[in-house]
Amino acid sequence: MNNVQLIGNLARAVELRELGGNKVVGKSILAVSRTQRGVRVGTDWIPITLWDKQAQAAAKYLDKGSRVAVQGRLHGDYVAVKGQAEGEAKRSRLVLEVIVDRITYLSPMKRPGEARAEDGAEGKPTQGGKAGR
């Protein structure tokens, strides 16, 4: 079973990239607090990937710092290490990310085309909600 559930804050806004065949991928990083015996001891920075309508909605309604809950699966891939000297044995490293199946917005959503309240915008943000596939 490969199932991941995390709650955290977006470390940066969702970045969209259009692929061929009407496919859209969104990437961000989720900052998740690590605690030990109720005391915060650090933060884990976890790459997340969203697809299609879910990615578009997240990019539209979430900003850096937005609190979200994600459910999905862990995906790992080996990538070549850049900057190796010529003649050096090729090295690779394992890169892990969470492929998001479901995302729940836990903080107020931004309105499209409007700055967040903490950026000095006037008005009350809309209530948090869910975006699905």
Q: Give residue 83's pLDDT.
A: 76
Residue type, 29: I
Answer with the residue of higher pLDDT: 115 or 94: 94
Tell me the CATH number at 67.
2.40.50.140
**Residue-level length of the chain:** 133
Q: Stretch 107-129: mean pLDDT, rounded? A: 53
Mean residue pLDDT of the chain comes to 85
Read off the pLDDT of residues 38-95 as tens digits, 9 standing for 90 and up: 999 999 999 999 999 999 999 999 999 999 999 999 999 999 888 777 777 788 999 9
Provide Rg for the chain, Cα atoms.
17
SS3 of residue 37 by DSSP: coil
What's phi and psi for 119, nearest 5 deg? -90, 5
Q: Give residue 89's pLDDT.
A: 76
Q: Give residue 108's pLDDT.
A: 87
How large is the greatest C-alpha to C-alpha distance in the chain, in angstroms?
A: 60
Number of domains present in the structure of the chain: 1
Read off the pLDDT of residues 2-20 as tens digits, 9 standing for 90 and up: 999 999 999 999 999 999 8
Q: Give residue 13's pLDDT.
A: 96
Region label for 38, one of left (φ > 0), alpha (ψ between -120 and 50) or beta (otherwise) = left
Rounded CA separation 67/133 (Å): 19
Rounded CA separation 67/30 (Å): 9
Composition of the chain by helix, strand, coil, percent to 5:
10, 55, 35
Q: Which domain holds residue 79?
A: 4-131
Rounded CA separation 5/31 (Å): 13
99 alpha-carbon distance from chain centroid = 9
| Cβ neighbours of 80 (radius 10 Å) | 9
